[in-house]
Amino acid sequence: MEPVLAELETALGHAFRVPELLLHALTHRSLAREQAAKERPHKSGSDGDGTSGCMAGDNERLEFLGDAVLGLVVAESLFGVHPDWDEGELTRVRSRLVSRLHIAQVAEGIGLGRHLRLSRAEEKGGLRRKSTVLSNTMEAVLGALFLDGGLEPVRAFVRRQILGEAAEQLAEELRSGAALGNYKSALQERLQADRSGTPVYRVKSESGPDHHKQFLVEVRLMMEAGEPGKPLARGTGSTKKLAEQDAAHRALDKLARQKAGQPGEAKEEEAEE
């Protein structure tokens, strides 16, 4: 095993019996095609041990396997740790934990991008830093981890890197009614429960070029039909939906501070008029 990959083994918490599995999991299709073009008509065969056949070409087959193993291990862990959660709660938390965004963040955390094996062209194009490639490679590495050591090293890595504080944070969101990021629904439920009115959203401004838009959205409390009341909060995002979610999130935080008697930011939105 190359010294730099030994660092990755340390991050994964597993020393590979078959190091070629890890190398294969790190091989992007761009490099596999580049190598295949040089080596034709050479073909790799299987020696019947269940590993060599999967090590020909890129890491996409291992990604398929890793995705399935990841879903199983996360579901197993949540099922055991949270016996009071119903199917809907388990499904929503699992969905967030195995999302491409979260898995890409895990990959960044262990420095996986440094070890990705790319073609020269893709190396120059910055593919090493793309979140989709990082999440796909992370799943391929989990597939390799499973083939090399079974479920136990995957379980250990998932508990340590993929669940950890993230699972507790999501659990707290669930308990607080934030609906795992669906802050618009949570805000509407909160206002309905308090009989305060209905939240309405409007775009205050748009900025930036078409490929990098930024929206500023305001959420107001509508007391009567057609009469928007006082502004609750403002939010920003690269799409209107994301900006609305951000505004709702800020409004929930503001209401929580007011209920706790903490200083709020009531004038913040008005000052931006």
Tokens of 71: 């879903």
107, 138 in Cβ contact below 8 A? yes
Residue closest to 250 by CA, chosen among 230, 236, 271: 236
User: How far lies 83's CA from each of 15, 93, 172, in Å?
Assistant: 33, 14, 15
Please give the Cα distance from 49 to 213 (Å, whole number).
Answer: 52
Positions marked active-site: 67, 139
Structure tokens given for 252 = 């929930």
For the record, the structure tokens of 157 come out as 């890595």
Q: Which phi and psi angles does 216 have, rounded to 5°?
A: -115, 120
Q: Give the strand order in the sheet containing 198-207.
A: 198-207, 214-224, 227-237
> Which of 256, 271, 269 minimizes the C-alpha distance to 202?
269
60-81 and 164-176 helices, crossing angle to 10°: 50
Please say whether the beta carbons of 149 and 156 come within 8 A.
no
Q: Which of 169, 184, 162 shows the shortest CA–CA distance to 247?
A: 184
Question: Which residue type occupies 20?
Answer: E
Please state, in angstroms and rounded to a whole number, the distance separating the CA atoms of residues 271 and 273: 6
| 3-state SS assignment for residue 168 | helix
Token digits of residue 36: 């295949």
